Amino acid sequence: MIAMTQHSKTPLIDRLPTVQGRLTPDAPLAGITWFRVGGKAEVMFRPADRDDLIDFLRQKPRDLPVTVIGVASNLLVRDGGVPGVVLRLGRGFAEIRTEGEDVFAGAGALDFNIATAARIAGIGGLEFLCGVPGTLGGALRMNAGAYGRELKDVLVEAEAVDGYGNLHRLRPGDFGFRYRGSAIPEDWIFLSARLRGESDDPKVIARRMSDIQNARADSQPVRTRTGGSTFKNPEGAKAWELIDKAGCRGLKRGGAMVSEKHCNFLINTGNATAADIEALGEEVRRRVRDDSGIELQWEIRRIGIAADGDREATP
Ligand SMILES: Cc1cc2nc3c(=O)[nH]c(=O)nc-3n(C[C@H](O)[C@H](O)[C@H](O)COP(=O)(O)OP(=O)(O)OC[C@H]3O[C@@H](n4cnc5c(N)ncnc54)[C@H](O)[C@@H]3O)c2cc1C
């Protein structure tokens, strides 16, 4: 059992408030991440609904670390696991409703399902979401984008709860959006958002969605164990071109490999550890720095602690 946040001999699970949803100690995370690697959550919490989550945050020990995850399509969970509570928003947060040219969705709704609901309702402009394999919560945090559009371009408003259970209504201007990120405090949890498109023919929308999916299948290793783009594109450059030029295409470390198909994707060839993937990423950064003088920044978020128990500072 991992007991990393214990101040006393009482296991963490016994110090948590009673909830309507599910609290699971020592919950394996590898199986629910796209990379299929990583350790356990000290405790996993799947709240039944919004009120359950808010009550939990209001009553939990104040110093308890809480990490929210979506479907972990942009996450590398380290091998030693994640101390504290890992929060996963499930069915109670997956509602999708269309109203005129708006789509209202819970933060646990899949981006693909949001794009599909918009298509059925004849709402164009949200097609790009069908190419992002995450949840709305992850898309809000990451300012997810593809094919010329980002979440910030379609957001009307969002609701979030902070680490103490206080609710916040957010307008796009409150987010401090930037390329693949925002300035919202790390401990805030998005609950839902309203997105806006424009009226369009469902057949035309369907064609655009299928073009996006075909383009992705041609250029990305979409059916492998990966975390999507590993590094952000530096100002005025493409990360994949820098990685290719530094000779990293196909580079391996343990069971991790730089994809031959798209060299800004790292893949788990079958038996990689999170340490293999992170070390390979750092090796790529080193080679690119030596080759072009450019310091690549991780887009993939790394959470948890290494197998030897070292807590890393970098998110
Ligand atoms: C094959 C592949 C292709 C991809 N293509 C794209 C692409 O084209 N464009 C793109 O932008 N991304 C892409 N990604 C990356 C990824 O899908 C996005 O970043 C996505 O938005 C992550 O959503 P998620 O639900 O999986 O979040 P996670 O990976 O689980 O988490 C990512 C971050 O969001 C935070 N988070 C998650 N939910 C919430 C919430 N409710 N409240 C607050 N914070 C939250 C987490 O704490 C974490 O910091 C791709 C990934 C893969 C594997």
179 CA distance to ligand 1 centroid (A)? 13
Q: Is 133 in the pocket of ligand 1 (CB under 6 A)?
A: yes
Ligand 1: residue whose CA is nearest its atom 46: 69
Looking up tokens 């309507």, which residue turns up? Answer: 20
Structure tokens at 197: 């498109």
Ligand 1: residue whose CA is nearest its atom 14: 228
The closest-lying atom of ligand 1 relative to the alpha carbon of residue 224 is 1
Category of 76 on φ-ψ map: left (φ > 0), alpha (ψ -120 to 50) or beta:
beta
Q: Is 107 in the pocket of ligand 1 (CB under 6 A)?
A: yes
Nearest to 247, CA basis, from 288, 301, 206: 288
Question: Exposure pattern of 188-207 as b/e (b: 16+ CB <10 Å)?
Answer: bbbbbbbbbbeebeeeebee
Going residue by residue through the chain, which has 315 residues, state the pLDDT in tens, using 9 for 90 and above.
454 555 567 899 999 999 999 999 999 999 999 999 999 999 999 999 999 999 999 999 999 999 999 999 999 999 999 999 999 999 999 999 999 999 999 999 999 999 999 999 999 999 999 999 999 999 999 999 998 999 999 999 999 999 999 999 999 999 999 999 999 999 999 999 999 999 999 999 999 999 999 998 888 888 899 999 999 999 999 999 999 999 999 999 999 999 999 999 999 999 999 999 999 999 999 999 999 999 999 999 999 999 987 655 445
Distance of alpha carbon 254 from alpha carbon 276, whole angstroms: 6
Q: Is 248 in the pocket of ligand 1 (CB under 6 A)?
A: no
Distance of alpha carbon 269 from alpha carbon 26, whole angstroms: 26
Contact between 18 and 47 under an 8 Å Cβ cutoff? The reply is no
> What is the best residue among 34, 45, 74 to mutate for testing ligand 1's pocket, by most ligand atoms within 8 Å of CB?
74
* DSSP character string of 143-174: T-EETTEEGGGTEEEEEEE-TTS-EEEE-GGG
Residues designated catalytic: 180, 229, 299
Q: Is 227 in the pocket of ligand 1 (CB under 6 A)?
A: yes
Q: Is 192 in the pocket of ligand 1 (CB under 6 A)?
A: no
- The residue ranges of DSSP E strands in 37-81, in sequence order, are 40-46, 66-69, 75-77
Domains of the chain (ranges; CATH) run 12-91 (3.30.43.10), 94-200 (3.30.465.10), 223-303 (3.90.78.10)
